[in-house]
Structure 1
């Protein structure tokens, strides 16, 4: 089975690709998703899927690197923790409405692929992230992934560039 490719948005002042890299082999729980469409995408993720990490709500929004999905989806228990910023009053132990996954750092791109580059690439015009900007998780089609990697390689002509194989 071929791995799926996902775009995961994060605000770098909250959690960046560098934070993910610091987690090492342990990885990080990707939680706090409180949008049903994003949650439904998350629930279809599988171990081995590729995640493109996209920094949003910053000076230059961009895809900054990649990660691996290292767990199957599971209940996001932060939804029932009143002390959590991700607490959801409508969730309960018997009705956990939200899910999480674990991801592991793969690589940081020395030259990010910016939102402006994504918007300028005709072959990426159908990307969900460009049509539903507030969606924190979205699928990336194989042709879109290839186009993104081509942009990344174009940005990184002067150094070695390796990508996860899917």
Structure 2
């Protein structure tokens, strides 16, 4: 019983504890406001080694270098937009976890909703087609021939040996 309680307690502690970040103590800025800005920016930037992780979550050496670069730019007095623009100019749009909507990325942003709408429309058309075709097929499938109808009437009319008359 004690083992179960300790396991439940350990799971509860893990569930409540904040997720671990890859930011090392030596990277943290002394000014809490600037550190908060750096963390917010780090969550928006992609680790180019891990590719689907932010540099805030990644432990890759390149992510560490990018986190330090973000902090250097903030310490130099750059705004958030200037830091992002600097990194995009240096590494390209790929460095952003959420790409900007512009002429180069409109297909990236519009293709998923269009594909979803097209798939929904195709399902709707297919359902309508099946409903229309299904009624005529069902009628033909369950229609009885004249011989079958007479045999069925005969079976219904004659008493069953299992049933009392």
Pairwise TM-score range, normalised by the shorter structure: under 0.3
TM-score under structure 2 length normalisation: 0.24
Bigger-Rg structure (1/2): 2
TM-score under structure 1 length normalisation: 0.24
Which one has the bigger helix percentage? 2
